[in-house]
Structure 1
Amino acid sequence: MNDRRELLNNEKISNLLLKLSAPAIAGMVIQALYNIVDTIFVGKALGEASAQGIGGLTVAFPVQMIMAGLGLIIGIGGASIISRNLGSNNIDRAEKTLGNVIFLIFVFSALITVAVSLYINPIMKAFGATDTILPYAVDYLRIITYGCIFFIFAMATNNVVRAEGNANMAMFTMVIAGVTNIILDPIFIFGFGWGVKGAASATIISQLIGSLFLVYYLFSGKSILKLHIKNLIPQYDIIKENITIGLSPFARQSSSSLMVVVLNNVLAIYGGDVSIAVFGIINRLFMFIFMPMIGIVQGLQPIVGFNYGARNFERVMESVRLSIIVTTVMASIGFAIFYAFPEQLFGVFSNDPNLINSGKSAIRIMVLVVPLASFEFIGATLYQAIGKAKPSFVLSVSRQILFLIPLVIILPGFFDLKGVWIAFPIAGFLSFMLSIFMMNREFKVLKGHIPDNGYEYEIPQGTR
Structure 2
Amino acid sequence: MQKAGPNLAVQGGKKGTMNNIETTRRPSAQAPRFVTGSLLRHILTMTGAGALGLMAIFVGDLANIYFLSRLNDEAIVAAVGYASSILFFATSVGIGLSIAATSLVAPALGAGRRMRARRLATNAHLLALIASVLIAVVLWFAIEPLLELIGASGRTLDLAAVYLRILVPTLPVLALAITSSAVLRSAGDARRAMFVTLFGAIVNTILDLILIVHFGFGIEGAAVSSLIARLVMMGIGFYGVMIVHDLLSRPKSATLMQDAPAFLQIAAPAVLTNIAPAIGNGYVTYAIAAYGDAAVAAWAILARLTPVAFGAIYALSGAVGPIIGQNFGARSPQRMRDVFTFSLLTMAAFTGIAWFGLGVLANEIAAVFNAGGEARELIVFFCRWLSPLFVFMGALFVANAAFNTLGRPHFSTMLNWGRATLGTVPFVLLGGRFFGAPGVLAGNMVGGVAFGIVAIFSAYKLIDAIGETFKPPENPVGHEVV
Could you state the TM-score of these two structures normalised by the residue count of structure 2? 0.87
Q: Answer whether contact 2:333 2:463 (CA < 8 A) is retained.
A: no
Q: How many residues align?
A: 448
Q: Are 1:223 and 2:245 matched, yes or no?
A: yes
Q: Which of the residues 248, 254, 261 maps onto 2:275?
A: 254
How far did 1:136 drift?
Answer: 1.7
How far does the alpha carbon of each residue in 1:13-48 deviate from its partner, in whole angstroms, 9 at most, with x for none?
12222332221111011011111111000111x21x
| Amino acid of the structure 2 residue aligned with 1:94 | A
- Any unmatched runs of 5+ in structure 1? 452-461
| Structure 1 residue 299: Cα displacement | 2.0
Residue equivalent to 1:314? 334
1:152-211 CA-partner distances (Å, limit 9, x unpaired) = 111111101111111111111211111111111011112222101111110110110111
Q: State which of 218, 235, 238 in structure 1 corresponds to 2:256.
A: 235
- Matched residue SS, 2:31: helix
Question: Which residue is 1:459 aligned to?
Answer: none
Report 1:72-91 matches (<5 A).
72-91=95-114
Name the CA distance, whole Å, in 2 between partners of 1:37 and 1:173. 18
Correspondence for 2:287:
266
Q: Which residue of 2 aligns with 1:164?
A: 187
Structure 1 pair 219–360 and aligned structure 2 pair: CA distance change class (3 A)? closer
Q: Given that residues 428 and 439 in structure 2 are in contact (C-alpha distance below 8 angstroms), is that contact kept between their aligned partners in structure 1?
A: yes
Residue identity in the other structure for 1:253: N
Deviations 1:205-250 (A, max 9, x none): 0110111122223332x215242232x5563452232233234543
RMSD over aligned CA atoms reads: 2.3
Q: 1:123 matched to which residue of 2?
A: 146
Q: Paired residue for 1:458?
A: none
Structure 2 contact 184–190 (Cα < 8 Å) conserved: yes
1:259-408 matches, within 5 Å, as 259-269=280-290, 271-408=291-428
SS at match of 1:216: helix
* Matching residue of 1:204: 227
Q: Kindly tell me: are residues 229 and 429 of structure 1, through their superposed partners in 2, closer, same or farther at Cα, counting changes over 3 Å?
A: closer
**2:48 equivalent in structure 1:** 22
2:165 aligned partner, one-letter code: R
| Residue type at the aligned position of 2:338 | E
TM score, norm. by length of structure 1: 0.90
Rate the CA distance shift 1:420–1:285 in 2: closer, same or farther, 3 A. same
Letter in 2 for 1:347: A
Q: CA deviation at 1:103?
A: 1.6
Work out whether residues 189 and 198 of structure 1, in 8 Å CA contact, stay in contact via their aligned partners in 2.
yes
CA contact (8 A) 1:71 1:155 kept: yes
Deviates more, 1:260-269 or 1:304-313: 260-269
Q: Conserved in 2, the CA contact under 8 Å of 1:309 and 1:463?
A: no
Matches for 1:63-102 after TM superposition, within 5 Å: 63-102=86-125
Residue 423 to residue 163, structure 1, CA distance change in 2 (3 Å): same
Q: State percent identity of aligned pairs.
A: 20
The within-5 A match list for 1:412-427 is 412-427=432-447
Q: Deviations over 1:312-363 (max 9, x none)?
A: 1111111111111111111111112223332211111125344213432344
Shift of the 285–388 alpha-carbon distance from structure 1 to 2, 3 Å rule, reads same
1:41-190 equivalences under 5 Å are: 41-44=67-70, 46-47=71-72, 49=73, 51-190=74-213
Aligned residue runs from structure 1 range 419-438, under 5 A: 419-438=439-458
In 1, Cα distance between equivalents of 2:192 and 2:65: 28
SS in 2 for 1:369: helix
Contact 2:47 2:315 in 1 (8 A): yes
CA displacement, residues 120-162 of structure 1 (integer Å, 9 cap, x when unaligned): 1112111221323112211111111122222111111110111
| CA deviation after TM superposition for structure 1 residue 261, in Å | 1.7
Instruction: Please list every run of at least 4 consecutive aligned residues from structure 1 whose deviation after the TM superposition is greater than 4 angstroms.
Output: 1-4
How far is 1:2 from its partner?
6.5
Pair 1:191–1:407, CA change in 2 (3 A):
same
SS of alignment partner, residue 391 of structure 1? helix
Q: Which of 12-21 and 173-182 deviates more? A: 12-21
Q: Deviation of residue 443 (structure 1)? A: 4.2
Residue 245 (1) aligns with residue 249 (2) = no
Q: Is the 8 A contact 1:332 1:370 kept in 2?
A: no
In structure 2, what is the Cα distance between the partners aligned to 1:2 and 1:109?
A: 28
Distance change in 2, residues 1:234/1:259 (3 Å):
farther
User: Residues of 1 paired with 2:123 and 2:467: CA distance?
Assistant: 34
Q: Distance in 1 between matches of 2:265 and 2:216?
A: 44
Q: Distance in 1 between matches of 2:76 and 2:28?
A: 51
Cα separation, partners in 2 of 1:4 and 1:70, compared to 1, 3 Å: farther
Distance 1:333 1:219 in 2: 37
In structure 2, distance between residues paired with 1:422 and 1:67: 26
The one-letter amino acid of 1:356's match is R
Q: Distance in 1 between matches of 2:444 and 2:421?
A: 12
Question: What is the distance in 2 between the residues matched to 1:308 and 1:104?
Answer: 24
**Whole-angstrom distance in 2 between the partners of 1:229 and 1:377:** 32
SS of alignment partner, residue 155 of structure 2: coil
Aligned equivalent of 1:456:
none
Post-superposition offset of 1:59 = 0.5
CA contact (8 A) 2:378 2:438 kept: no
Aligned-partner Cα distance in 2 for 1:194–1:309: 51
Per-residue deviation, 1:74: 1.9
Q: Offset of 1:297 from its aligned partner?
A: 2.0
CA distance in 2, matches of 1:335, 1:249: 29
Any conservation in 2 of the 1:365–1:425 contact (CA below 8 Å)? no
